Amino acid sequence: MTRLPGWFCARTPFGALVYKVRMRFLLIVLLTLSALSFAEVSHQTDLDRAAFALLQQDFTAFDPHYEAEHQLRVARTVVLAKQMFEAEAKGEITTCGHQILFELGSLLISSADFKQIDGRLHDLETSVGHPSSDKADTEGLWGSCYQAWYLKLYATYDYLEAHAPDEPAPHPLPAFLTRASTPEKLTAYLDALSVSDVRYSGVDHEPEFNETVATLLRMIVRRQPENYTVDPALRDALLDRLLHHYRNQETGFWGERYLRDGREDFPDDLSMTFHVISYLKGRVPDMPRVIDTTLAIKDFDYPAGWLWKGQFWNHTNMDVVTLFRYGWSQASVAQQKAIAAEIGRMLNWCYRDSLQADGSFKINIADGSLEDAEYYGTSFLARIGFFDPKQRFWTAQGFPEATEVRKRNLGFVQAHRSSGPTGDNYRSTLEALQIK
């Protein structure tokens, strides 16, 4: 065994002095590292809490008149949205108008291009009162009243999924995915979307980045809805970017990066994290860390947190419980206790404040349609096992009122199936209610 020099020994006077100095140095190092770790956590918490406010500051830096111009367009959109909801409630088929409304909502949270926003407002005003449906273009893309490619892709996936046979024969990757059909193209396209310099461009790429990743995951990794024949290198490239480049390794969440004053901010994004973990079926690293982050952002507003303007929202509640479900088996006892308490809180709000007498759910302007509001509400209840005890991962409690609630939900769906703007007769909501 190697012996240390005698002067190092703490039993000698000089050795004791050296020992004290070394221990003091070690203590300083540990305290410094602890302080740095705390500072990182504190910075992330502040960043997540202020994510929306910081984005508004970015837009104002791009355009000093942004706030006033933005509020004018929001007010006009709210009026038109209510008219769209009323038409939908009366049974009118308003697919085109709802596509415009959805795109308009995306632009209002991601762009300071008021010329483009005004163009979409004009299109929406023109569509009100005029029933409309969807159709495919020459490339096979649906979403004919969307302008953005990523929204057309989103609509196309939904259409193909609704009409796909149970066991489709293999299909080649469709031509409309040309811009992401090779590892090089896909990487270049997504890398460009993953970072926004809003103060320079007036554009937040998050909606496009989020929705594109969600759709490509389903088409390229899960090969849905048409059993696509996918080059393994393309699949590997997408997974590599997601797991090693677009993820915040400190929090386990995904999101958009923002360039601000020479730094790069990386706030957590609940929606994008939900999409990635859902479509990878929870097979991602370090789910306990994801659970910790999810619990930490519970009182923050969208886009980082659970809340919409300080209130629960069935859409984000559905996202949250999906993360909890996938992480439950890896969660600690303390995490499981916290999860159960939070789901109980969300359920109480949904049942007492959101669910309506006719089986619908109180609509949030961000829902986009009565159909989507119904899907988010029923899906939240379904994913916590409210209707089915076998899905009740978080509690042994019974819900005797579930049968009556399900009957009300189904009654609303049956009364509105023909007017759902997606055109699939409320298929996703019926699946949540376990009705084929």
Maximum Cα interatomic distance, the chain, rounded to a whole number of Å? 94
What is the C-alpha separation between 53 and 75, in angstroms, rounded? 19
pLDDT(32) > 80: no
In the predicted model, is pLDDT for residue 256 greater than 80?
yes
Q: What confidence tens digit (pLDDT) does each residue in 230-248 have? A: 999 999 999 999 999 999 9
Nearby residues of 21 by Cβ (< 8 Å), 6 or more positions away: none
The three-class DSSP label of residue 276 is helix
> What pLDDT sits at residue 340?
98
Give the pLDDT of residue 399.
Answer: 97
Alpha-carbon distance 116 to 355, whole Å?
36
Q: CA-CA distance, 88 to 419, in Å (whole number)?
A: 6
**Cβ distance 118 to 100 under 8 Å?**
no
Q: Residue 275 in contact with residue 214, Cβ under 8 Å? A: yes
Which residues, 6 or more positions from 305, have their beta carbon under 8 angstroms from its beta carbon? Answer: 48, 49, 51, 270, 297, 298, 299, 316
Residue 16 has pLDDT above 70, yes or no: no
Evaluate if residue 19 carries a pLDDT over 90.
no
What residue type is assigned to position 16 of the chain?
A: A
- pLDDT band at residue 30, thresholds of 50, 70 and 90? very low
Domain boundary assignment for the chain: 306-436
Share of the chain above pLDDT 90, in %: 85
pLDDT at site 424: 84
Give the gyration radius of the chain's Cα atoms.
25
Provide the pLDDT confidence category of residue 36 given band limits of 50, 70 and 90: very low
Contact 390, 398 (CB under 8 A): no
Question: How are the residues of the chain apportioned to helix, strand and coil, as percentages rounded to the nearest 5?
Answer: 65, 5, 30
At 43-63, the pLDDT tens digits run 899 999 999 999 999 999 999
Task: List phi, psi (to 5°) of 47.
Answer: -65, -45
Taking the complete model, does pTM exceed 0.85, yes or no? yes
pLDDT for 133? 86
**What's residue 15's pLDDT?**
52
Of 11-25, 63-77, 116-130, 383-397, least confident by mean pLDDT is 11-25
What is the mean pLDDT of the segment spanning 284-296?
97
Q: What pLDDT is stored for residue 322 in this prediction?
A: 98
Bridge partner list, 311: 308
Q: Which of 315, 306, 392, 289 is nearest to 342 (CA)?
A: 306
**Beta carbons of 295 and 335 less than 8 angstroms apart:** yes
Which structure tokens are listed for 315? 């859409």
Mean pLDDT, the chain, rounded, equals 91
Q: What percent of the chain has pLDDT over 70?
A: 91
pLDDT value at residue 374: 97
Of 245, 297, 247, 238, which Cα lies nearest the Cα of 272? 247
Confidence of residue 423 (pLDDT cuts 50, 70, 90): confident
Confidence of residue 411 (pLDDT cuts 50, 70, 90): very high
Query: Can you tell me the distance from the alpha carbon of 378 to that of 62, in angstroms, rounded to the nearest whole number?
Result: 40
E strand segments, 343-429: none
pLDDT per position as a tens digit, 190-233 = 999 999 999 999 999 999 999 999 999 999 999 999 999 999 99
